[in-house]
Structure 1
């Protein structure tokens, strides 16, 4: 099951249903800029297969929607960057990737479980990174430069991605990994990085699935 933006188009929802992928829509987070109040990765973070931290303002909504997990009521983000991105963290193996503004429950969990912090300057880490099982993909050179000597990460070309109200969206904000499928919100084959992404995913036996729609940054698709 995926958590996807409540702003996602009907065509994208039809695409998911046609591929037998169940989903939950987000709810607007009143603490965030209305242009991005729909993004899953700005309101909640999946710690592991049992625990999810959820921003207090939208906690009750997800409590009714999500079953089978221990839901932890977390801090609220605030409207201004980087404090709007306290949930926008990447967990990869024994590391977590973020700046210094990680939500306190998430940070505590990582400390208690000896998950090492790989610090980057970018606050929107999850939006800027595509986490696969054995490697990461990014179009952000700063992130790539900070991580390339620590973990397996590939740098790909940047290209235009729609993000309503902003000049540019993020590559990681328009996709999500579910099982062996990397699902995009739109036609990734038209993106400059497509062939590199496909090459990486083929190497890891991951299929690319995408609809014939514009590639839109709705926030990272979170798999439950």
Structure 2
């Protein structure tokens, strides 16, 4: 349903295959398996069954960097679960894959270690200076590094097999001024606050379904085409 809603808006989607060993509810979550470093660089977790994904990324012009394999249990599943927001990278303390730490050093990006290992899951990037999160440690660290932060309540995001999903896992930017959500913001107790925060940043929400918010492992933007430049 989500892919159909995106494709109906002219957005090409790349499905992420199941990662062997990860629990079934999160085995296809992109935010565990990939980290878009910036530009054409992308880190992908090593493991069996990656060939099709790697080839699809390379065909789209990406330089794929092989990260370490994932393990089924925390913290072995979070080395790539980092949120790169402008000039900061938020990730779990002592849990970040060396490819990401090396990239941050090369690119002049400040690494922000936090207690929450599922950092990308917990961060909805609104723009290069603004995030939404339900995690208090991330909210505090992000504010210390100059980001605008909306701290929301935990819960009311579906993720089968778990008590709750995360705000980053049910959202993703489709453009600089358009932020997609997997369900209706009215299903969340802070839905109106989220809308107000987005509007204050000049960003419009796009609700892809009428149902509750659903953690799908993030909608990760890879490429953007400016149709105005077409001949």
Is the TM value for this pair above 0.5? yes
Cα offset for 1:195? 1.2
- The residue number in structure 2 matching 1:12 is 2
Partner of 1:4: none
Once the two structures are TM-superposed, the CA of residue 199 in structure 1 deviates from its matched residue by 1.0
Q: Map 1:132-147 to 2 at 5 A.
A: 132-133=126-127, 134-147=129-142
Q: CA RMSD in A?
A: 1.5
8 Å Cα contact 1:158-1:192 kept in structure 2: no
Task: With the length of structure 1 as denominator, give the TM-score of the two structures.
Answer: 0.90
Q: What SS does the aligned partner of 1:182 have?
A: strand
**What does residue 203 of structure 1 align with?**
200
Pair 1:212 & 2:190 matched: no
Kept in 2: contact 1:31–1:76 (CA 8 A) = no
Determine the C-alpha separation between the residues in 2 that align with 1:215 and 1:178: 17
- The size of the alignment, in residue pairs, is 214
What is the SS of the residue equivalent to 1:61?
Answer: helix
Note the residue ranges of structure 1 that are not aligned, 5 or more in a row.
1-10
Which residue does the alignment assign to 1:8?
Answer: none
1:118 aligns with 2:116: no
| CA distance in structure 2 between the aligned counterparts of 1:31 and 1:115, rounded to whole angstroms | 32
Asked if structure 1 preserves the Cα contact closer than 8 Å seen for 2:29 and 2:218, the reply is yes
Distance in 1, matches of 2:52 and 2:205, equals: 31
Residue of structure 1 equivalent to 2:72: 79
Aligned partners of 1:107, 1:61: CA distance in 2, in Å? 26
Higher relative contact order (CA 8 A, sep 6+): 1
SS of 1:53's partner is strand
Whether 1:63 aligns to 2:54 is yes
What is the distance in 2 between the residues matched to 1:13 and 1:113? 33
Normalising by structure 2, what TM-score?
0.87
Give the Å deviation of 1:204: 1.8
Unaligned runs of 5+ residues in structure 2 are 223-231
After superposition, give the CA deviation of every residue in 1:138-189 in whole Å (9 maximum; x if it has no partner): 1112221233222222212233111011111111110101102111111122
SS in 2 for 1:161: coil
